[in-house]
Every structure is written in structure tokens, then in C-alpha cells.
Amino acid sequence: MSTTPDRPADPTRASGTTVTEVAVPATADAPDGALYRACIDLQNAVDAEGYGTTDLEYRADEQLAEWHVPEHRPRVMLAVHDGDRLVAMGTLETRRGEAAGTAWLDGVVHPEHRRRGIGDALLDRLEALARARGAHQAHVYLTTGPAPADPGAALVPPTGAGAVRADAAGVRFLQGRGYALQQVERCSRLRHPADEAALGPVRQEALAAAGDAYRLHTWSGRSPERWLADLAVLATRMSTDAPSGGLDEPVDEHTPERVRAADELLEAGPRTMLSAAVEHVASGRLVGYSQLAVPADRERPAMQWNTLVLQEHRGHRLGWLLKVANLDALQAAFPTVPSTYTYNAEENRPMLAVNEAVGFEPVASVGAWSRQL
């Protein structure tokens, strides 16, 4: 959400604005895609305020495949105009089936148009749409820059791990809307080339801990047919096994068909996915996986996506094994990529430990907020 509160002394100041749903074009450069592109540009510009870098831009062509998403993840983009000027944009994502009770909201307001009630009006519309789709709770993620050094300036989630700046404008805005901080994620960056003096010991320790009981697999692009069912289980377990703090996360059921559909969406976009997975030799099943998304512009950072080891197979350094295997593959195939970014729950000490060991450095704290609708 916007990093500046928008509740005005006179709420009617936002009355001159109009909110419209954005039609997502077939291609990012299509003539009818100007509003879509403008919304993505605004989103990236405001997000860069929170992160302090443009490294984490998610460009219009990179997002497009996710907007032409199958029926399991309905999404809506809204644009707010003051006259003919775009002043804010927002997104709503919901689920089907048992997960339909949760909605994920996001929104940004142009810096020159804050404190006019636009953020309130936008969030009102997003929450109303969520309720109309059957959602009874909303989740919002807000980036507020580095974690505060002063404990007196810190707002700590129920997990007790991590903190956001209590005085951040976006924090005050969400609190004023009745949202509660439930978890803090750490955004971290590893500069490339990674230091082999740090990477090597982690690699060796992971290989030794896994031993002969586990086998590593890596690939680029679409998932091998033989692993689709196992990857569906792992993707589903991301919604149940990953640390979620105080968030009430719904089960997000995946099927082999949904995994393949996700592969096809990625293939239609400009990013390349690098995957690493661990097979439990005795059962012949995958029990962990990790994904790295590489942009078409090889001078831009890669982004760590899902990483998960099934709870029943933890304690064997498999997360370490997966993380290092993907970093090795990334640096070998794409040596000009300058860095990798990743997000981890602050209470997820095992994964943060491996990140810190190989050289990831904190960039920003991301608060996960929720409220009942």
C-alpha cells in the first residue's frame, strides 16, 4: 500500500476522482494497454520508495502472464484518476473453493496526490469487491524500508520476530483502517558473484547432511512430466507449511494440471525459471523444491520464488542444498545477473541462517497485515 497516510481532514476532497477497472491487454505493448502499463509504472515507482531501490521492479511484460491467470486466482486491477491524470492504482486477488474467504489487496497513491483521501477511497473499493466475492478477511503487505535500529521506534508482530517502523506513514494508515500486523518478512539481497569462500562450506555441509538418502535434481523452464504430481503437493504445502505468523492462510490446493498451467504462463512471459528439487530416494518422491526467476534483461536481479522442504524431511540441510544448487545454476548460466533477492519470514531462522551464511544482506522489512472484512 501507499507509504503515506491518505485520510484527510475533509473526506470530500477525494470526491473529484474516478475509479475504473483496468482492462488487461493481450500483449504488454498493445495499443489498448496504455492504462495497464501506466498502472504498473506507478506501482513500481511507489514500491521503489519503500525498498530504496528500483531493483525489484516487476515490469508490465513480466506481470502480464499473471493477469491472464487461470480461474483459480481471479484478479482485478483498479485505476484512480483525477481528471485525466492517474493518481492511484490497486489490485485485488482472491481464490476459488475453500480458499475463497481470503483476499489479497494492494494499492499505491502517487506522491503528489496523497493526503486527499484517495488511499481510503481506493481501499474502500477493494474491500467492497473482496466482500462481494465472498472474502471475510483481507491481507495486505507493506514495505517500510529497513528494520528500525531503535527498539522504541519498532512495531513487533505477534511472532516476536522482526519489526517495522511504528512511525511509518503506511503503518499508521493501515492501523487507522483496522489492520493488525501479523508477521514481518525480510527482503535480502545477495550480490553476484557469490563468495565461494562462504558458499563452499554451506554446499559441503548440505551434501554431507543429505547423504545418500536424498538426490538433487535441477532444471530450467517447464517442469519434468514425472514430477508434476509431487510439485503439486509441494506447491500446496507452501500454503500450509511455510511460516505464516498470525496470518490465517487458507489451503491453496494445486494439481498437476495447475502446475503445468503455471509453467505455460511462465513460458509465455519473458522470465526464465530455474528449479532445484530434492528426491527422497527410498520413496522416489520429491520432498523439497526451490525456484529462481531470471529476467530477460540479464543485467537485472534474479528473484527467489518458492522454497520449501516438507516438514517430515526437515533437519537434513535440504533447504541449504536447494538454495546453493540454484545459486550455482544461476551463476553458471547467467553470469551477468548482478544479484538475487529473496523474502523470508523473520521467524524462519533455518532459512535466514543459510541466507546469512552465503552472504545475503537485509534490504527492507515487509509487514504482513490483516483484518476481518
Mean pLDDT per 10-residue interval, the chain, length 373 residues: 44 70 93 96 94 94 83 90 96 88 96 93 96 96 90 93 94 96 97 95 95 97 96 93 85 91 88 97 98 96 94 94 96 98 94 92 96 96
User: Is 1 part of any domain?
Assistant: no
CA 89 to chain centroid: 18
pTM of the model: 0.91
Q: How many residues would you count in the chain?
A: 373
294 and 157 in a common domain:
no
232 and 152 in a common domain:
no
239 and 328 in a common domain:
yes
Q: Which DSSP state fits 72?
A: T
User: Is 369 part of any domain?
Assistant: no
Residue 145, pLDDT score: 87
User: Is 215 part of any domain?
Assistant: yes
Q: What are the CA-CA distances from residue 21 to residues 6, 10, 17, 302 (Å)?
A: 21, 26, 14, 31
**At 344, which helix (H) or strand (E)?**
strand 339-345
C-alpha cell at 345: 519470514
**At 37, which helix (H) or strand (E)?**
helix 34-51
Those residues whose C-beta lies under 8 Å from the C-beta of residue 249, and which sit 6 or more positions away, are 102, 239, 240
| Domain termination residue (choose one: 155, 188, 221) | 188
**At 218, which helix (H) or strand (E)?**
strand 214-220
215 and 348 in a common domain:
yes
Structural domain boundaries, residue 125: 11-188
Please, what's the largest Cα pairwise distance for the chain? 68
290 and 161 in a common domain:
no
122 and 205 in a common domain:
no
| Domain termination residue (choose one: 165, 188, 211) | 188
Cis amide linkage into residue 193, ω under 30° from 0: yes
User: Is 2 part of any domain?
Assistant: no
302 and 203 in a common domain:
yes
**CB of 94 within 8 A of CB of 101?**
no
What CATH number should be reported for the domain holding residue 151? 3.40.630.30
Alpha-carbon dihedral 224, 338, 187, 250, rounded to 10 degrees: -20
User: Is 4 part of any domain?
Assistant: no
The count of structural domains within the chain is 2
Residue 66, pLDDT score: 83
User: Is 308 part of any domain?
Assistant: yes
User: Is 261 part of any domain?
Assistant: yes
147 and 201 in a common domain:
no
213 and 131 in a common domain:
no
C-alpha–C-alpha distance, residues 282 and 295, integer Å: 36
User: Is 368 part of any domain?
Assistant: no
| Domain termination residue (choose one: 130, 153, 188) | 188
234 and 179 in a common domain:
no
Characterize 93-110 residue by residue with b for buried, 16 or more Cβ atoms within 10 angstroms of its Cβ, and e for exposed.
bbbeeebebbbbbbbbbb
- Looking up cell 501479523, which residue turns up? 182
Backbone angles phi, psi at 369, to 5 degrees: -115, 155
227 and 154 in a common domain:
no
153 and 205 in a common domain:
no
Cβ-in-10-Å burial (0-12, 13-18, 19+) of 12 comes to: exposed
Residue 10: CB atoms within 10 A of its CB come to: 9
Across the strands, what pairs with 273? 293
Give the long-range contacts of residues 204-211, CB within 8 A, separation 24 or more. 205/317, 205/320, 206/317, 206/318, 206/320, 206/321, 206/324, 207/321, 208/317, 209/316, 209/317, 209/318, 209/320, 209/321, 210/278, 210/316, 210/317, 210/318, 210/321, 211/316
